[in-house]
Amino acid sequence: MTDPNRRVRVAAAHAASPLLDKNACVDKACALIADAAADGARFLVFPESFIPGFPMWNALVRPIDGHDWFVRMARNSLRVDGPEMKAIADAAARHGVTVSLGFSELSPVSDGALWNSTVLIGADGRLLNHHRKLVPTFYEKLTWNAGDAAGLRVVETPIGRIGGLICGENGNPLSRYMLMAQNEELHAANYPPVWPFKNPVGAPPFDLADAIRTRAAAHAFEAKVFVVVSAGYLDDAGYEMLAEGDAEREAILRASPRSTSMIVTPSGEVLGTPLTDEEGLVVADVDLGSLLELKQHHDMAGYYNRMDIYRLQVDRRRPQPVYFDGADSLAANDGPAPAPADLTESDTPALAAVGTNG
């Protein structure tokens, strides 16, 4: 049960990625962790695909012209057990901050397979959860694979029970309900800097900031949680790199509405100062002890549900490209091949080993 007197300071990074430069992204992530800690924050959320940046070029160039972009993206994506992730885990442990990090993940078995992923890193540097976005949205399919449910988990931490979803997943009713049903208290939501859906030049653009706030408020209200929204920011270097001197591309990017970062309460109130047009940290104190009373009103995973009528069944097995049987196959592959298994059985030890204290 939630401690009635528990308060925690949380933060959302509204930050530009040094686009397609994973080392610079890691350095910036570590610096932002230090900044959040200096402000007293114990939980920090990063934007979608903060490392190495969001693949916006998919909206701007023809697929037949996008191969070089993909190669650069793949070469700057991270493996979960790689040195870049360890550097961020070490920073989290050094500053005592729990971190939700958005990144482009490189498959351990293929240099051309990527996922849009997040990891939750504990304040001791241990990787607590690893989620891959279930469905790449629209032109994201040109970069990322479909994910799985292994990381759709709420993790018990010293500061609260933390879950999270990536971008459009925050509008997926079943994914959100799955987190509600695990007694989520803090929800991390992350987004890209801009989202060109249709050509905004000369037409009313899609209001991305309003859509983000609507999604955040809906989940905060229905789940009775605090939602920490972190969105990317596109700086001048990013505009120039993506436009490549093409005036039409730059006009589309400049006309596309910016994303926004904010912290939202179960009543829909926005805490702190939301950021849209400049980089920085959105910081606020939240009272997790206030959540219990709200569940007397609507408890979607408790009494305000009819579990005798509805049933949600989720397969958490993480798919593998190949499954080996027999001693000869195992010997030929230098050890046991990963079998289809729950995250608690297969992924957690590997994740924990990345952390300082793991």
Q: Which two tokens stand for residue 243?
A: 């436009």
pLDDT in tens, 269-298: 999 999 999 999 999 999 999 999 998 888
In this prediction, residues 179-193 reach a mean pLDDT of 97
Q: Who's near 2: CB < 8 A, 6+ residues apart? A: 160, 185, 288, 289, 291, 292
Instruction: Kindly report which listed range (61-75, 77-91, 341-355) carries the lowest average pLDDT score.
Output: 341-355
pLDDT at 198: 85
pLDDT number for residue 273: 94
**Strands, E assignment, the chain:** 7-14, 43-45, 98-106, 114-121, 127-132, 155-157, 160-166, 186-191, 226-231, 261-264, 270-275, 280-287
Active site includes 222?
no
Choose, from 22, 25, 28, 48, the residue flagged as catalytic. Answer: 48
Catalytic residue among 22, 86, 140, 167: 167
Neighbouring C-alpha atoms within 13 Å toward the C-beta of 220 = 25
* C-alpha angle 196-253-135 in degrees, rounded to nearest 5: 30
Q: How far is CA 4 from CA 8, 57, 291, in A?
A: 12, 47, 9
Mean pLDDT across 223-234: 98
Q: Which residue has the tokens 């509405």?
A: 257
Quick count: other Cβ atoms within 10 Å of Cβ 221?
17
Nearest in space to 232 (alpha carbons), one of 15, 57, 19: 15
Q: In DSSP terms, which residues pair with 132 in a beta bridge? A: 117
How many CA atoms, within 13 angstroms, populate the side-chain half-sphere of residue 189?
A: 31
pLDDT at 163 over 90: yes
What pLDDT does 204 receive?
Answer: 74
pTM for the model stands at: 0.90
Interval 244-253 mean pLDDT: 94
Which of these is catalytic: 133, 169, 224, 295? 133
DSSP annotation of 138 reads G
Whether the link from the prior residue into 193 is cis, omega within 30° of 0, is: no
The pLDDT of residue 324 is 86
Domains defined along the chain, listed by start: 7-352 (3.60.110.10)
Q: What is the pLDDT of residue 349?
A: 35
Backbone φ and ψ of 3, nearest 5°:
-65, 125
Helix axes 247-255, 236-243, angle to 10 degrees: 140
Q: Which long-range CB contacts under 8 A does 269-278 form with residues at least 24 apart?
A: 270/213, 275/14, 275/233, 276/14, 276/209, 278/14, 278/233
pLDDT at 4: 57
pLDDT of residue 228: 98
Is 30 one of the catalytic residues? no
For every residue of 73-93, DSSP letters joined together read HHHT-B-TTSHHHHHHHHHHH
Q: Which of 184, 178, 186 is nearest to 98 (CA)?
A: 186
Check pLDDT > 60 for residue 262. Answer: yes
**Is a pLDDT exceeding 80 seen at residue 326?**
no
- DSSP three-state, residue 310: coil
